[in-house]
Structure 1
């Protein structure tokens, strides 16, 4: 049983006692009810009990590119950041998760190496439409596709018509299509990203590429009646048409990421390839509008898009944005990053937890995750909202010590994380592998 003066109760915090049995929350009572338990955890006065975060956009990269990350290191990092459930992306592992045997193979590597609970996305690529139903039946939470080159040759992209056909297919079994929405033709005609000047890289991935691709996702969702989700939105220009699509009743949701909400293109030094990601970090006015989109509900939630690589692939020696791998490692830092920025804006912690726990869990169908409620999994973290620390990449649990947040002072520290009612000790992996039917 955990008891304290600040326990998450939906949209507010109250003094509560939370009792756990067999990995589930079985009682929530006012502080002082004196629930009996074999073990009691008392929160300090500066600690808050929060639901474990749910990060539905994580590239673990195992098997095949385990030197980039891996299930053990990724899930340790997740737990250290208060994330108790991740959903792993289907690409950057080899083989990509585009058929049932590849899913089973990936599960072999995840099993016995997960410190938090792990679910899986399937992939939608040219020619694998016949495999989508079997992947669904084997428990994936939906299907990811790209509308331009994915960055790895073994995961080719779909043209818009192919995406529409796959949307129609997954609608027949009520699955979810999640889309990396950038238009390949627009990017092909944009300036080259080569060189160490960040502004040149920014111009190589213009907002228009996102806007056109997002419009395609919206209209193909409209035509098929499918369920869709737009990944890592960075262009605030797209928010009005997304809002219109939602008002029209389309079953479409949107995410963004900590790097788009906390970093600014104007502040990125030339050659600083740790900041490279696709779509890119944009200007200050763009960032402000993304926050507005979160507050008005146009953007549904925040996830990491943890996309690590080896240090060598970041081309730190040359600082060439055209050569460096595009991805930001932030799985361990997401809550502190967003809380630091949110509290500066007067946004309460409860809103942050909705964006980073409840809403992603609800969208992907994790029915027992995302809140502290009776019958839910006992996944929670002890969070010290006023505790601050300086980011040191060498002390993070990510396999490769590189981060654009190096040296940044952040507010909010996760002091302990529990998965299924058990504290994560970072030595014994006790996380479960989740599937859509049983999560």
Structure 2
């Protein structure tokens, strides 16, 4: 017996878009047919909208526990739900304590229970001194591990720390033994640190100066070093927020040679360029930084060729005062983008660049689910999968205003941008958790998921 039937929608399947009814039972997709008649079911009329699988955002920072006025799970997950995301993976840093031990992971699980709008999973961390904790984290259900090859940014005592080369290598050996995945922020700290010190000694602290201290070569060097270590250890790798075509090419070459490696990029690298640091200001500062139009075009070419595996937001918020300084080296390096990954990718990728919807949905949902062990329960609209959907209205564009935002501090570099589509409804396991006209419907419906 069906609980709900969604009618009059265009459904994005694995390889096609089809006009189908969706029958939902027990939170999962039970039927996909031209017409479904079920007298006992609640009927939702999609009104001709596009129904896509809910985004799986594998890279967000929701800043709990320990950081007070920073983003939290209720507001961050609300923003994600309003943006058509149905599952997110929270990173182990930008919280105190960071998620580097089983004890700290269990703390985070307790904080999330009953407070997240959407489903969620957690990354563990690889930091100097916690090799002995990796097995316990795996046993407790982390998606994988995150490490930084450049400074991690936290200045507080006990904050997440970057790895040295021996920690990275030994960590890869252990992660390979555990059958898990290591996610890497790949930038060369030696290169970045030296360039930044030279700028600061001269008192040069502008946006342009900041850009020059994190060149594409810093990303490529770290990527190639990590790929070499992965060859030696057999450790599966996932590179986060890749910003340059050169790094994509290096990763793709090793993938073709048989290395177990994937990569993501982020909407900000695909819709903004380095010019935004002057045009938008501090809200556009991130690391790696925004790149040139040429680099951006290369990333879109990688999407078209299938070399990019997935899109994530890297939602990295902070209190507003940390985005206010004339010294660009002191400004917090993170973009608040959780709410608009889907709308940005469909507006730019589908409406403007004519990339097919199934291809974009693979980047947003199917590929993350397959890579991180959530498939076949999540990632596609298919019989037996969780009924995780976003309803997309392409009939009207809109201008993003600050009042539309759900994240805690409502600060986005995309405010003022015209978007060519809009998320009108989000469903998690058959439950509507967001409606455009009335907002969040169930603030604590989300559940923890593990691979």
TM-score, structure 2 normalization? 0.93
> 1-side partners of 2:27 and 2:429: how far apart?
4
Spell out the pairing of 1:78-97 with structure 2 (5 A cutoff).
78-97=80-99
> 2-side partners of 1:226 and 1:416: how far apart?
39
Match of 1:408 among 399, 417, 433: 417
Does 2:304 match 1:304? no
SS at match of 1:172: helix
CA shift at 1:161, angstroms?
2.6
Does 2:29 match 1:25? yes
> 2-side partners of 1:430 and 1:2: how far apart?
23
**For structure 1, which runs of at least 5 residues remain unmatched after alignment?**
none
Q: Deviation string for 1:291-342 (max 9, x for gaps)?
A: 1112212211110000000100111xx4431111000011101111111211
Would you say how many aligned residue pairs link Structure 1 and Structure 2? 433
| Preserved contact between residue 20 and residue 421 of structure 1 (Cα < 8 Å) | yes
> 1-side partners of 2:354 and 2:31: how far apart?
32
- 1:241 corresponds in structure 2 to 250
| Preserved contact between residue 71 and residue 408 of structure 2 (Cα < 8 Å) | yes
SS at match of 1:265: coil
- 1:387 corresponds in structure 2 to 396
CA shift at 1:210, angstroms?
0.5
| Preserved contact between residue 384 and residue 414 of structure 1 (Cα < 8 Å) | yes
- Structure 1 window deviating more from structure 2 (318-327 vs 370-379): it is 318-327
- 1:120 corresponds in structure 2 to 122
CA shift at 1:250, angstroms?
0.2
SS at match of 1:20: strand
SS at match of 2:395: strand
SS at match of 1:304: coil
SS at match of 1:387: coil
CA shift at 1:266, angstroms?
2.8
> 1-side partners of 2:91 and 2:354: how far apart?
33
CA shift at 1:37, angstroms?
4.3
Spell out the pairing of 1:142-221 with structure 2 (5 A cutoff).
142-153=144-155, 154-191=159-196, 192=199, 197-221=206-230
> 2-side partners of 1:37 and 1:260: how far apart?
47
| Preserved contact between residue 177 and residue 228 of structure 1 (Cα < 8 Å) | yes
Match of 1:322 among 325, 329, 337: 329
**For structure 2, which runs of at least 5 residues remain unmatched after alignment?**
435-439
The 1:271/1:413 distance shift into structure 2, 3 A limit, reads closer
Q: Deviation string for 1:122-155 (max 9, x for gaps)?
A: 0000110110010110010000000111001411
| Preserved contact between residue 150 and residue 189 of structure 2 (Cα < 8 Å) | yes
Spell out the pairing of 1:362-377 with structure 2 (5 A cutoff).
362-367=370-375, 368-377=377-386
CA RMSD of aligned residues (A): 1.6
The 1:196/1:3 distance shift into structure 2, 3 A limit, reads farther
